[in-house]
Each structure stands twice: as C-alpha cells, then as structure tokens.
Amino acid sequence: MTSLLSDRFGPGGSLTAQAEAQLARSGMRLAFPRELEARYRLDLASDRSRELRHITRTGALLYFSLGVLMKLSGVTHENWRDCITQLAGGSGGVLLLAHYFFKPTIADTLREISALVCCLVVSLAAILVAYLAPATTQDLIIAALPANFVLMFVRLRFHFAVVFALVSFGCYSLSVLLRPTLEPQTHVFLITFMAILCLPALVGVHSLERASRRLYLHGLLQNLRVARLAVENNMLTVLSMTDPLTKVANRRRLDMELRTFCAGVEKTGALLLIDVDRFKAFNDMHGHQAGDLCLQEVAERLAAHLRPSDLLARFGGEEFAVLLPGVPAREAASMAERLRTAIHARPFIADGAEIRVTVSIGIATVNIDTTPETLLEAADLALYAAKSGGRNQVRV
C-alpha cells in the first residue's frame, strides 16, 4: 500500500510534504518549489484564463467609455476622430491579444506575458496621449489612473506586476519631466502621486497572491487526502476480496459474483469446482510449506489458461472455483479438460523431487432457474462423481 501511495502522490508523498511545508513557511517569497508550482499553474490554468478574459473585456470597455466621457468637455469637433482612434486602438489591441492568448492551452508564462502586454498597452497609451496632447495637470493626473486600475483589478502575478509598475512609473515620470511648461513643484507632485498610486497597489497585489496561493494549498491538501483515502479504501476492498495465499479471489468474492451472475437476464455459463487430489497426503509427506507452494502454483497454472472475463477463486482448502460466463456446457468441458491437463502435464518440485499432482473437476451449467446455491450444489455433486470415479478427471 505504501508503494502504491508513493507512486500516486510522488516519491515519499512529496507533493503533500511540499504543500505542508509551504503552509508552515513564513516570509514574503511567493514561488513554490518546482513540482508544486507546476501543479499550481496547471490546476488554475482554466480559471486563470477565464478570469483574464473577463477582466480584459471589462477593462477595455471601461477604458473606452471613460476615455470618451473625459474628453467630452475638452475635445473639439475636429479632434474627435483622433481621440476615438486612440481609444479604440488601445481597446481593440487589448481585446485582440486576449482572444489569442488567454486560453487554457496557452503556456502559463506566455499567457501572463500577454496579460502584462495588455496592461502596458492601456497604461502607456493613456500616458502617451497625455504627453502628446496639450494636457493640463489634471489630464496628467488622470493619465496615471489606468496604472492604478490595472494593479488593483487585473491581478497580474506579482513579479509581472512589479515589471508593469516600474515601466509605467518610468514612462510617466519621463513624460512629466519632458514637459517644459510644468513647474518643478508640479513635476515632484505628479511623480509622487504616481508613486503613491503604485506602491500600495503593489503591496496589495503581493498580499492577494499570497492569500490565493495559501488557499490553493489548503484545497490541494484536502484533495490529496481524499484521493489517498480513496486509494486506501480501494486497496482494502481488493484485499478483502483476495485470498492471501494464492492471490486469487476468495470465497467472499465468488459468492458476490455468483449472486450478480445468477440475477442477470441472460444466464449462460458454467461453474467449475476443482479439487487437488490427495492433497492431505501431499501435506503429510512434504510439509505444509510445500503444500502452500503447490496451491500457489496450481492457482498460477489455472489462471494462465483462463480468459480475462473468467473468475478464478479459492473455494476453500485445496479447492478452487472457476466461473465461466457465457460458456455453454460443451465448451466448459473442453476448458476444464485443458485445466486438468495443465496441472497434470508438468510435475511439481517438492524436497528436490518431481511430483505429479492431479485435479478432479466438477462442472455445473447455468439455466434460467439457477441460483447460487443450486449451482454450487450441482458442481459439488459433479466433483464428487469425478473423485469417486478415480480422480484426475472431469465430470459434468
């Protein structure tokens, strides 16, 4: 069970261990270890793409609408075409990038870079318009707002948000300093205003991403625990239905399959009861350990000649049962003869000596009135007839 769980959840449960370690860790660092980071980005790819598409569409609409409203009072009739072209160009470029790059199938890094580019298009377009136009101080203040909007609502990954803030701040400061019509005090005011917008927003981006990552870790650990319990429960179910010595189905599994089989609408098939001849004498002569090895090899030889749809079970002691669904009586007899021959043809090795082991097989076929009890009783009677008739034979 430990080996299976290790395969399912990484070497030594590494994914669980990494998630627990990250939850216990303090500090400002956001990135996870490589394996956990890859799982995090893969799990959130669909939600992240959908989120970016929604934010981009909303942001482009707001950018265009607010830009039109702000220009209503200050744009002459002759300049409206240029204004609409600038606003529509920025919005359209962002929507075009979103259409092609905000998909779950796009690599995570490419998707996040595309989000950064979209944000820079909006922010730098506003700064460029304010720089090229005969803008007032009020216009320059308004030109700083898109950067703040991006940092607060777009939820860029923190390191991309830092790049965005630095580029926007640098371009904005340069556009302000290059305007000779502004007083030095106005330069300081506008640059300080931009810094006040960006720095707290960056702190918020960091806190939000940290909280999102911790929330993801809690969910991941819960999912891993549920998956581990499901694996353990499945293995316990398998163990409860398996004979520990021969590793084939046990009597409990056989009874369950017989009930299901006999309750079916189309009941065609047969049940074989197989008994190892003179097994008590084999045990007395060679010991119980040799007897166990003999039963294991008998089970292996029987399983090697059965179909995947057949059920091989240890019925008890030295007896085995084979359920053959969909097999008529004649084919069941042929199958039983092949199984008998497979056991008898090759000797078993015990105490360094070769020993011939044989089996007797009783066959019962299914009809419309068959129940598990009557099927077992009929097969048992056929087995008794095979043993009474001299053993190492098949009886129907």
Catalytic residues: 318
d(CA 336, CA 310): 13
How many other CB atoms are found less than 10 A from the CB of residue 154? Answer: 22
| 43 contacts 216 by C-beta, under 8 angstroms | yes
| 150 contacts 123 by C-beta, under 8 angstroms | yes
Which residues 6+ apart lie within 8 Å of 134 measured at CB?
Answer: none
d(CA 87, CA 102): 22
* Closest-CA residue to 256 (of 239, 241, 234): 241
| 94 contacts 123 by C-beta, under 8 angstroms | no
19 CB burial (10 A radius; 0-12, 13-18, 19+): buried
Measure Cα distances from 351 to 137, 190, 282, 286 in Å: 102, 97, 12, 7
Cβ-count burial 186-208 (b if 16+ within 10 Å, e if not): eeebbbeebeebbeebbeebbee
Measure Cα distances from 328 to 5, 79, 339, 344 in Å: 42, 91, 16, 24
| 150 contacts 156 by C-beta, under 8 angstroms | yes
Torsion of CA 249, 254, 256, 261, to 10 degrees: 120
Cβ-count burial 108-133 (b if 16+ within 10 Å, e if not): beebbebbbebbbbbbbbbbebbbeb
Runs of H (alpha helix) within the chain: 2-9, 14-24, 34-71, 80-101, 108-132, 137-153, 158-177, 184-240, 251-262, 279-286, 288-304, 329-345, 372-388
Q: What are phi and psi of 243, to 5 degrees?
A: -75, 125
